[in-house]
């Protein structure tokens, strides 16, 4: 299996949304995929139709995380496998500590070609930095927001390697791009100019009203509307992810 971490550069940038809708796009490409929620808000499950009053998940029994992660795998109506975090008396740091146990992901019922998408907590680049050596791909999700420049500086200080470079599995992914909005377009242009081209995912996910509308009935964008503007871009992202992972396996 291949391990892919997805994290928002700042709260609200959209990593949870990207994780769920990327999984849907990968499934449409007949790629085996599974999502694991590592964010204390336990929201990833909502994209897959899990009842809001169901609170079980792999951290419900945190002292047995390596065993319970296997038992917590669920499947959505459209066939996506996911592992909800669950709700209980535990902190975000406890979640991350449980995931630091190398045996946790080994317990997942996943084939060798399965992509494991892990939804990491927002604005914690130091966590992503610790994970990078064990990841096949890391996506840091940002959106054209006035906060992005400052958060990028903090991000860079945490993920830059000893020789001043960036790990070759780490990429920045733009979300909620709306060029028809002047501020959005201007921030996007400025930030893309500042980010090294080789660290950018070569596409931008558009701001699409179908996405929040899809979450209301707890569906992916693909399920909610086959004509959603973001669908074809998520398909492009899925293809790019598969190509990147395949290139790493090939090496």
In whole angstroms, how far apart are CA 158 and each of 74, 122, 164?
Answer: 34, 14, 11
Cβ neighbours of residue 29 closer than 8 Å, sequence gap 6 or more: 235, 238, 239, 242
233 neighbors 177 (Cβ within 8 angstroms): no
What is the separation of C-alpha 59 from the centre of its chain, rounded to a whole number of angstroms?
A: 19
Q: Is the pLDDT of residue 164 over 80?
A: no
pLDDT of amino acid 107 = 81
Q: Mean pLDDT throughout 221-235?
A: 94
Closest CA to 187 of 208, 211, 207, 168: 207
Cα separation, 127 vs 46, in Å, equals 24
Q: Which residues contact 169 (CB under 8 A, 6 or more apart)?
A: 132, 135, 136, 137, 138, 248
Backbone dihedral angles phi then psi of residue 220, each to the nearest 5 degrees: -80, 165
pLDDT at 139 over 70: yes
Tens of pLDDT, residue by residue over 91-108, are: 999 888 888 765 678 888
3-state secondary structure of 1: coil
Q: How far is CA 91 from CA 42, 49, 59, 86, 162, in A?
A: 12, 25, 10, 12, 31
Largest CA distance in the chain: 50
Which residue's structure tokens are 């930095």?
129
Q: Which residues sit opposite 138 in a β-bridge?
A: 5, 170
Domains, the chain: 5-250 (3.40.50.300)
Q: What are phi and psi of 62, to 5 degrees?
A: -60, -25
Q: Rounded distance, CA 84 to CA 104, Å?
A: 14
Model confidence pLDDT, tens digit, residues 165-216: 788 999 999 999 999 999 999 999 999 999 999 999 999 999 999 999 999 9
User: What pLDDT, on a 0 to 100 scale, did the predictor assign at position 88?
Assistant: 84
Neighbour-count burial of 52, counting CB atoms closer than 10 A to its CB (0-12 exposed, 13-18 middle, 19+ buried): exposed
pLDDT at residue number 65: 64
DSSP 8-state code for residue 166: B
Q: Where are the alpha helices (DSSP H) in the chain?
A: 15-28, 44-47, 65-71, 92-99, 125-131, 148-159, 182-194, 210-215, 221-224, 231-250
pLDDT score for 66 = 62
């Amino acid at each position: 299996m291949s391990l892919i971490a997805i994290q928002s550069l700042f709260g609200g940038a959209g990593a949870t949304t990207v994780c769920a809708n990327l999984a849907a796009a990968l499934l449409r490409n007949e790629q085996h995929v599974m999502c694991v929620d590592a964010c204390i808000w336990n929201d990833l499950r909502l994209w897959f139709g899990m009842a809001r009053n169901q609170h079980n998940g792999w951290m419900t029994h945190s002292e047995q995380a390596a065993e319970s992660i296997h038992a917590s795998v669920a499947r959505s109506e459209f066939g996506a496998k996911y592992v909800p975090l669950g709700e209980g008396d535990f902190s975000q740091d406890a979640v991350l500590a449980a995931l630091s146990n190398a045996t946790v992901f080994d317990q997942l019922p996943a084939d060798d070609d399965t992509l494991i998408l892990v939804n990491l907590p927002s604005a914690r680049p130091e966590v992503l930095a610790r994970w990078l050596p064990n990841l096949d791909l890391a996506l840091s999700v940002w959106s054209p927001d006035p906060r992005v420049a400052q958060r990028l500086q903090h991000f860079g200080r945490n993920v830059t390697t000893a020789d001043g470079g960036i790990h070759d599995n780490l990429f920045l992914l733009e979300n909620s791009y709306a060029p028809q909005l002047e501020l959005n377009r201007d921030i996007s242009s400025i930030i893309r100019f500042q980010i090294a081209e080789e660290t950018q995912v070569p596409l931008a996910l558009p701001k699409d009203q179908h996405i929040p509308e899809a979450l209301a009935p707890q569906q992916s964008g693909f399920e909610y509307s086959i004509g959603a503007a973001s669908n074809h871009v998520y398909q492009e992202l899925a293809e790019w992810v598969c190509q990147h992972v395949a290139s790493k396996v090939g090496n």
